[in-house]
Amino acid sequence: MTLTRRSALVTGSTSGIGLAIARALAREGANVMINGFGDAEEIAALCRDLAAEFGVEVDYDGADLSDPAAAAALVRTTQARFGSLDILVNNAGIQFVAPIEEFPAARWDAIIAINLSSVFHTMSAAIPSMKARGWGRIINVASAHGLVASPFKVAYVAAKHGVVGATKVAAIELANDGVTVNAICPGWVLTPLVERQLQDRARDAGTDVLTESGLMLAEKQPMHRFTSPESIGAMAVFLCSEAASTITGAPLSIDGGWVAQ
């Protein structure tokens, strides 16, 4: 158990990529604070199941990351609950799609607040104790859209580019403090959200999910294969390992060749 006695906070971790990262860290022995939205009973069951399966402590805080004070308080709550915060994974994010001239200002503000500003607020709150302890791992889940653009996603692309930039700044500032800061940049990931999108596309086009999967992948990726959430969890675990102790400030693509083009 490579992360025994470490404690982690994973935002946006009640499903999808965040949950896969939380599971991967717990499997390696880390105590984990879950955060996100969902049914209260289902989340409570999720915490109990993770704790029982991996023999670690798991707790939940439903902090609304669009609120700067709540984002910072989430870090302090995690530190108080487990005695420290060693691993911060900023994964929470939302999406909206529209041409720029039709993009609602409220949607822009919400996406920037959750996808970008919360990353600043949690890092700012977590960094002092990581520096004091001489060890820390900050992993910001960006996107292929943190490196390249697509139409109709102005807020998401701007936010994810900002996440990559903030990651680089933090990595430089913390380079000699035992704290690494990296960004994982996924392409198409087969999450429940994407599965629902494929079902909707198949219904609207009168095709099937397999056909729409191929079309979706071919739009962006040379490799016509989805990344699994578990693969991203494994990458997060690697970034927490001693083998990755000099990897910092890196936007790490896991995208089937999306940004190689």
pTM over 0.75? The answer is yes
The residue written with tokens 């999450």 in the block is: 191
The CA-based angle 162-179-36, given to 5 degrees, is 55
Q: Would you call 255 helix, strand, or coil by DSSP?
A: coil
The residue written with tokens 């529209």 in the block is: 98
Task: Name 165's Cβ contacts closer than 8 Å, sequence gap at least 6.
Answer: none
Q: Which fold has domain 7-187+228-254?
A: Rossmann fold (3.40.50)
User: Can you give the C-alpha Rg of the chain in angstroms?
Assistant: 18
* Domain definitions of the chain by residue range: 7-187+228-254, 190-226
Helix axes 68-82, 118-133, angle to 10 degrees: 30
Catalytic residue numbers read 156
- Specify the pLDDT at position 1: 75
Q: Would you call 203 helix, strand, or coil by DSSP?
A: helix
Report the C-alpha gap between 32 and 73 in whole angstroms. 16
- Specify the pLDDT at position 235: 98
| Backbone angles phi and psi of 251, in degrees to 5 | -90, 105
The residue type found at 131 is: K
Q: Which residues of the chain have pLDDT under 50?
A: none
Task: Name 219's Cβ contacts closer than 8 Å, sequence gap at least 6.
Answer: none
Count of CB atoms situated within 10 Å of the CB of 161: 19
C-alpha to C-alpha distances, 111 to 25, 144, 251, nearest whole angstrom: 27, 17, 20
Report the C-alpha gap between 147 and 255 in whole angstroms. 11
With beta carbons less than 8 A apart as the criterion, state whether 249 and 172 touch. yes
